[in-house]
Amino acid sequence: MATDTHTPAGPAAPDGGREASLRGRRRLERTAIMMFLVVASLAMAAPFLWMALSSIRDPTELAKVPMPLIPQDPRWENFSEALSRAPFAIYARNSLILAGAAAILNVTFASACGYALAKLRFRLAPAVFGWMVACIMIPFYATVIPVFLMVRHMPLFGGNTILGTGGTGWIDTWWALIVPGAISPFMVFLFRQFYVATPTELIEAARLDGVSELGIYTRIITPLITPGLLTVALLSFEAGWNNFLWPLLVTTSDSLRVIQVGISSFRQEASTDWHLLMAGTTMAAVPMIILFLVFQRYFVQGFASSGIK
């Protein structure tokens, strides 16, 4: 799409009429686009906005059918009440560590692999690529129990002998939370796509200049895919942040529980503390929203312009 909306068309057009019609068309386009964006984005965000609105509702208001759109009696204590019901500070810290580790590990190791698959020629490359794609296809529930078993029988941890028996291995430790999902084949695949689009000529040129392979990877090519890096970091962070089932399975002690587990505790068998659930979920979503708002600024055309010309 055209970059600036306020740039007159390049050098002064000899044909004034043509330029005017261009501007006119642009303005029409712009208005139509804005209208579409407003309506469509609202449709996308409406459920979340409704949830956020509900997070300050009084429980009796939730009982009203139909529920009024704007909360009539804003109850900001919902947030503090939700926080006090479970040790959310600890949960948030844990989620932060888990999500941060996922982001860092993925950006580091998945990018390395993605780059190698995209740009370096080595014999096992097709095999590794095929393997990565196959990995993505493996259903999570098929591997949950075996991975759990491996975590439990990790030799020499948690009281296990060298054969992995006798103790509890990595259960209820940070290892179990972080390691199994540390490098995601999806991210490798994604990185490869980003790297494929980078110009190989740059690599050749760098080699001629005597830059090492590692140097090319770290200093020359990877900076070109900054949007890609940010994408992977964001997605890995989000996956770690919203992870629910795996932490539930491998941890028992409260000090390792994560935020989603804490929020799920608002749903009891008999009744749901709806207002607290909404408050909790909204709060949990806020860090992700802020992160996204901050980083999407870098998804601006030309930020990662190729360095050919």
Partner 1 sequence: MFSRRSILAASSAGVLGMGAAACGASSSTDDTPVDLSGDAAELSGEITLLTPDFTSDARTVLDDDIIGAFTEQHPDVTVTVDAAAWDKLNEKLTASIAGGVVADVIMTGVGWTQPFAQKGLFAELPTDDVEALGFEESVLKSGLYEDGYYSIPQAMDLRFMTYHPELFEAKGITEPPKTLEELAQVATELTGDGVIGIDLLSQNIRQAWIFLLYAFGGTLFSEDGLTPALHEEPGRQATQWILDLMASGATSYDLQVAEGQPSLFQQKKVAMAITSTGNWTSWVDMTPELTEEGAIGMFLMPPGGTATEPVMYQGGTLISISKKSRNQQAAAAFAKHMLSPEMLAIGNAANGKVPPTVDIPTTPGIDGSVLARFGLDSLAYAGAAEGGTPAWMEIRGNLQPLIESCLTGKTTVDQMLADMKSLCDDAISRI
Partner 2 sequence: MSATAPVSAPPVAAAGPRPHPGTSRRRSVQTAERRWGLLLAAPATLHTLLWIGVPIIVAFVLSFTAYDVINPPEFAGLENYATIFGDELFWLSVVHNVIIAGVGIPISMFLALLFAVLLNRSVPGQGIFRVMVFLPHITATVAVAMIWLWIYNPSESGLFNVLLGTFGIGPVPFLTNSDYALASVILVTIWQGIGLKMLIYLAALQGVDTQLYEAAELDGANFVQRFLKITVPMLKPATFFILVTSLIGNFQTFDLIYILTEGGPANSTSVVTYRIYQTAFQEFRMGLASAQSVILLLILVVLALLSRKIVGGTDGD
Rule CB under 8 A: which of 172-191 touch partner 2?
179-183, 185-186, 188-190
The DSSP symbol for 110 reads I
| 141 contributes a contact to partner 2 by CB under 8 A | yes
Residues 87-116, interacting with partner 2 (CB under 8 A): 108-110, 112-113, 115-116
SS3 (DSSP) at 94: helix
Structure token digits, residue 110: 């998945």
Q: Please, which residue, 183 or 235, has the CB nearer to partner 1?
A: 183
* Strand intervals (E) in 25-121: none
All residues at 6 or more sequence positions from 52 whose CB lies less than 8 Å from its CB, including other chains: 278, 282
| 13 contributes a contact to partner 1 by CB under 8 A | no
CA distance 117 to 303: 25
Half-sphere exposure of 246 (CA within 13 A, CB side): 26
| 302 contributes a contact to partner 2 by CB under 8 A | yes
| Part in contact with partner 1 (CB under 8 A); list of ranges 108-116, 194-202, 229-237, 245-253 | 245-253
CA distance 85 to 78: 11
Residues 130-169, interacting with partner 1 (CB under 8 A): 130-131, 144-146, 148-153, 163-165, 168
Residue 271's binding partner out of partner 2, partner 1, none, with CB under 5 to 8 Å set by partner kind = partner 1
| Part in contact with partner 1 (CB under 8 A); list of ranges 7-15, 102-110, 112-120, 124-132 | 124-132
Residue 90's binding partner out of partner 2, partner 1, none, with CB under 5 to 8 Å set by partner kind = none
Q: How many C-beta neighbours within 10 Å does residue 192 have?
A: 22
Residues 246-275, interacting with partner 2 (CB under 8 A): 260, 263-264, 267
| Smallest gap from residue 263 Cβ to partner 2 (A) | 7
Three-state SS annotation for 5-17: CCCCCCCCCCCHH
